[in-house]
Amino acid sequence: MDNYQIRKELYDAASLYAGFDPDDESSYTDCYDGHVYADFIASGKRSRDLAVTLPRTLHDHSISDALYRFLDGYSPYQVVGVMGGHAMKRSDAPYRKVALISKQLTEHGKLMVSGGGPGAMEATHFGAWMAGRSDAELDEALQMLCVAQTFRDAGWLSSAFKVMQRFPQKQYKSLGIPTWLYGHEPSTPFATHIAKYYDNSIREDTILTVAVGGIIFTPGSAGTIQEIFQEAAQDHYKTCDVSSPMAFLGVDFFTRELPVYPFLEDMMARGKYHDLLLSISDEPDDVVREILAFREENAVHIPNKFFK
């Protein structure tokens, strides 16, 4: 495992999946990511052996260093996060909506960030990858992906690589921040830069901290609920010196099925939360407008303390 620990640069699809053959999905077990995950499980997800935990910590520290050096090239307001469920199917309407939102924001110069896994996370990076292309091309690529609906279906990882081969690009970037704690969920190769951590708590806090330009919440379950309130607390206390937009995609989902939106509004009215910038819509264009309306020239200057 020694060669897995210290990184000078972030991962990308080529380095994380070195040894993977898109024509043979079983080759995942022989690729770099597969070997790291197998060792992670074998040595214990929550090992107390210093010989195990110290190298993991050094690895994660080097990833954070590479991450913030990468972000030196961006204003904090350019970085926009997407939170949502890993179970979202590629054929689900919200998947395409997330992809369209990410595509448009990437074309407007935003750096899209997610947890770097499947579902809504993959849709984020798929949309960023397809930036600069037509919606018809995005739909063609989406049809290619739909041969495998979720990461549990055979061909999920291979189909992503085949889309990247069919629609190559080097102009647009996105940042995935996955974790080996959930290593059974493959990291999306659509993310051009991948900060993969052992420690999930560092990973989750990092996503919310760096996405000063706003967080888009899409349908999810327990993890998404946790992230909503984590972001609300961060904005309430202005942990990053500013309250960032919290844009919710899915009116019925976030007001009825998972009624966190009216709860946040009520807490705002009661003075329990302050300065939350809330919006909700079913339309991708509305979400894009909300994020773009939060512009650096109209906001408080943020020292680059989170980007150093």
**Mean per-residue pLDDT, 97-108:** 98
Number of other residues whose CB lies within 10 A of the CB of residue 200: 16
Nearest to 228 by CA among 266, 169, 276, 182: 276
pLDDT at 5: 79
- Nearest of 209, 281, 217, 225 to residue 246 by alpha carbon: 217
pLDDT for residue 302: 54
Whether the model pTM is above 0.85: yes
Six-digit token string for 128: 């960023």
- CA distances (Å), 111 to each of 45, 131, 214, in order? 31, 12, 11
Query: pLDDT above 70 covers what percent of the chain?
Result: 94
Query: Greater confidence, 308 or 91?
Result: 91
| Domain range list for the chain | 75-300
Percent of the chain with pLDDT over 90: 93
Average pLDDT score over residue span 14-31: 96
- Number of neighbours of residue 105 by Cβ within 10 angstroms: 27
pLDDT value at position 8?
94
- Coil, strand, or helix at residue 235? helix
The whole-number pLDDT of residue 227 equals 96
pLDDT in tens, 32-68: 999 999 999 999 999 999 999 999 999 999 999 999 9
pLDDT at site 87: 94
Report the C-alpha gap between 120 and 126 in whole angstroms.
Answer: 10
CB 239 within 8 A of CB 211: no
Cα(31)–Cα(19) distance, integer angstroms = 4
pLDDT at 176: 98
- Phi/psi region, residue 188 (left: phi>0; alpha: psi -120 to 50; beta: rest), is beta
pLDDT digits (tens, 9 = 90+) for 120-175: 999 999 999 999 999 999 999 999 999 999 999 999 999 999 999 999 999 999 99
At 162, list the tokens: 């085949």
Q: Is the pLDDT of residue 307 over 50?
A: no
Across 237-263, average pLDDT:
96
The per-residue pLDDT for range 172-222, each reduced to its tens digit, is 999 999 999 999 999 999 999 999 999 999 999 999 999 999 999 999 999
Band (77; pLDDT cuts 50, 70, 90)? very high
Closest CA to 13 of 193, 169, 203: 193
Question: Domain 75-300 - what CATH class?
Answer: alpha beta
Mean pLDDT across the chain, nearest whole number?
Answer: 94
Cα separation of 123 and 90, whole Å?
Answer: 8
Confidence band for 300, pLDDT divided at 50, 70 and 90: low
